[in-house]
Chains A and B, each alone.
Chain A
């Protein structure tokens, strides 16, 4: 690890991460008080839900039970946004840390300074982890405190921690995907394009797989299938092991990217 480089890396990324953290805080700050209001008028909401097509309900993680649990409304709809926004944040962060260096040619400067490519990679990896961890700590604290402040109904705080873990898992997974794409394409537009395509395929593929029988195979290729929000809320079951396996796969991808980074030609 090179602290000089880490300092520069953090300086280049911290503003964006703080802005994204604010976005997450604002989002939870608006969504959770709203959840409390919805719960207090749940009869009207349940009437509406009962009149909606089943396909639509499943597509948007709507169900009667979800709307009667305090963790349910945020855990279904709110967390879906958190997943999507978090994955976009990760892809953009990695784009800035890796792809931009290739695209703007600054990787040439770094590669000739007296640090090895391994140190360069590890330092950049550390920066990505610091930013993602920071965002997710802020997010988890925000969820826990918003529930504590605004939720008048009894809820399970462990589920809230699971939301934090799931969010972290999604972001680390998509950051690992973006790193490999950044190194292979050496271009930020390609990184964002491909990473977001994978996100859309995984997220909407998983939704589709749950509602259309013929496409049910897609769910096996989606990480969202293994950290299901509905089951987590309804059964109060936290998928720790699945999260851990996804994290291990992500670090495996990071390790493979490290090998690529060390050996691939730098073409600027």
Chain B
């Protein structure tokens, strides 16, 4: 069999394995098979490529592969709390690879490039370079080496759209006149700056949407690279990644009742300024760990609502102890997970799974909201805006219309919170002033730990 055919067959099998890989990921029981299928497909495709007769320099390839492994292994072993920034970083790496390959292809082929080829190549490098810097910015914000607060200035959208338009204009010129090779660097540099400017106005709570969107761009740029190289395997892998990122972006935007454009161009800056003016002091009821433990032990159904604050306080292992202690008393404990809780899609599920909480106790918003009225205690840990009933009732609220976890329908609501300071978006939460709400002031990890201690101390009373 000719080598070329053999290579194409390895690609074909790899493609099938990639699709199966995603199919098996649909359920936790088969998900690990999905990883294996992906790994086998990847090994086949790389092995097949190495047979390619045009390869004369195996040394560089080997250096690249070995260095990649050396960098990749620690990136695969980061702590679960660091997964959002790791994911953003890997989007940056993927986009970097695509941009570099696109750049090389341009200089190898120009000026003999057809308009269509130049169009996809432009799409590849524009999407690739803006995803590269955008993802680096997102990773920096998530790692907190960059300021997390959104930075906005007057005319921001005008500047951003202007830059994007300029990059596209250059792409159009290059399509018509590919011999204008000196324009090409500008088509990379402008999107590189655009990527930075795009993420500057985006705050922490919008990160799940932005990471998903960057994921989608990374996939699309890889698919464009597939068109340039005429590689079906790459087109399919890029399309799968692109649609995955797109679906997640849609889910995240819906969960915040915002459009893509609103996330990208809206910013939350204006809202903060508006909300800061109407701070008023209203009475809240607070409770101690002992009282909280007494209420919890008298309950028969408890729903725990975790948010990013739980991740910040590293409270997930204490939450697991609480879960154990309540479950042992025969209390039904489930978790209500809002789609945008945390800093990336599914963030809370991974943290709670790491703490050994069985995944069948982790319910998404639609599954848990129906049970809320039969719930004795809803315990909110480090979540704020996703529990704000104003989203349902107050048409003037900036988050009006956003689907929320209806914790206010539970008989008792307990909220663990550091202080009465407003949440990320600076929006006051009427939940805290309800009759059935008790505020538990303190650090999430310590407070949950204290409740667990009270519960185990109180065993004799039953």
A in complex with B: no
